[in-house]
Amino acid sequence: MLTIVKPIKLAPALLIVSLCFSEQRGTAQDNVTVPKSRLEELERKEKELERLKGDLDKTKDENQQLKKEQEKTALQPVQAPPSAAPVAASPPATPIITYVSPPLESLPAFQPYEIVDSMDLANYYHADTGAADRRFRKQKLSVRGEIVGFEKPLLKRNYRILLKSPMRETKVICDLLPPDKSNAVFTTDHGEELVALFGENRVPIAKVGQTVVVKGECKGRSDSEVMILGWDLKLVH
């Protein structure tokens, strides 16, 4: 026997419920809530992106303008610079004045305690030590010169006065003993002044820059030093 199945028809009420459910799902998907902080961050990044894009466009425009100016400059003919006014020649440098001593052979016969300038004594020993020794070594003389420094050997009573010379290679040094009845001799004012100590009293002996005359005996030259063994010191006023 043949059975005929009839199609089932959905009730209108069931169809309406199904449509409402679908609509609610779509509405729920459209109404997703975004946190405020996240939204602000997205807006900030969007503004930053717009700013960077604007800077990039500006840089491109500047590069294009610079390129056009360079091409324009390259096409212009090179012009020779106008003839400059003659520059006045700079004055010649001031020549270095070298101290010149009288020739040793032109000097008269040596006399005891003859006054010899420290500049001349240094020059003679620098030029010819043998010739200078033949005239001055072991002679009693008076050396006149400007004080340029002092030396005080450790653990010794003597002190030394350095006199001016024309070159650094040769020094004139006068070695002297302290004044009688003095306790000690030392330098003050950062080595600019030499004083003697008498009891508790300090007595100035000499200062750098003063001119003195030292009586003594020439001991000749050793290395770079012309040594005078002195026993009398006088200031020249």
CA-closest candidate to residue 223, choices 126, 134, 131: 126
| Tokens 């001991």 belong to residue | 219
Residue 223 lies in a domain: yes
Q: Please state, in angstroms and rounded to a whole number, the distance separating the CA atoms of residues 196 and 150.
A: 13
Radius of gyration (C-alpha) of the chain in whole angstroms: 52
**pTM for this one?**
0.60
Residue 191 lies in a domain: yes
What percentage of residues in the chain have a pLDDT greater than 70?
68
Residue 145 lies in a domain: yes
* Residue 28: predicted pLDDT: 44
Residue 224 lies in a domain: yes
Q: Please state, in angstroms and rounded to a whole number, the distance separating the CA atoms of residues 215 and 192.
A: 22
* Residue 195: predicted pLDDT: 96
**Is residue 195 classed as helix, strand or coil in its secondary structure?**
strand
Q: Please state, in angstroms and rounded to a whole number, the distance separating the CA atoms of residues 30 and 182.
A: 112
Region at 179 (left for phi over 0; alpha for psi -120 to 50; beta for the rest): beta
Is 60 exceeded by the pLDDT of residue 142? yes
* Residue 75: predicted pLDDT: 58
Q: Please state, in angstroms and rounded to a whole number, the distance separating the CA atoms of residues 234 and 16.
A: 136
Residue 203 lies in a domain: yes
Is 70 exceeded by the pLDDT of residue 15? no
Residue 67 lies in a domain: no
Q: Rounded to 5 degrees, what are φ and ψ at 185?
A: -130, 135
Outline where DSSP puts E strands in the chain: 114-117, 140-151, 159-163, 171-176, 184-188, 193-198, 201-207, 211-222, 225-235
**Is residue 36 classed as helix, strand or coil in its secondary structure?**
helix
* Residue 20: predicted pLDDT: 44
* Residue 82: predicted pLDDT: 54
Q: Please state, in angstroms and rounded to a whole number, the distance separating the CA atoms of residues 58 and 162.
A: 75
Q: What is the mean pLDDT of residues 44-62?
A: 71
* Residue 19: predicted pLDDT: 45
Q: Please state, in angstroms and rounded to a whole number, the distance separating the CA atoms of residues 207 and 188.
A: 10
DSSP state at residue 155: T
* Residue 65: predicted pLDDT: 74
* Residue 154: predicted pLDDT: 87
* Residue 226: predicted pLDDT: 98
What percentage of residues in the chain have a pLDDT greater than 90?
54
Q: Please state, in angstroms and rounded to a whole number, the distance separating the CA atoms of residues 175 and 227.
A: 7
* Residue 36: predicted pLDDT: 72
Q: Please state, in angstroms and rounded to a whole number, the distance separating the CA atoms of residues 215 and 234.
A: 9
Residue numbers of the domain that contains 215: 108-235
Domain tally for the chain?
1
187: which 2 tokens?
């330098």
CATH number of the domain that 219 lies in?
2.40.50.140
Residue 57 lies in a domain: no
Residue 156 lies in a domain: yes
User: pLDDT tens digits for 166-183?
Assistant: 998 899 999 999 999 999
Outline where DSSP puts E strands in 3-152: 114-117, 140-151
**Is residue 107 classed as helix, strand or coil in its secondary structure?**
coil
22: which 2 tokens?
């679908």
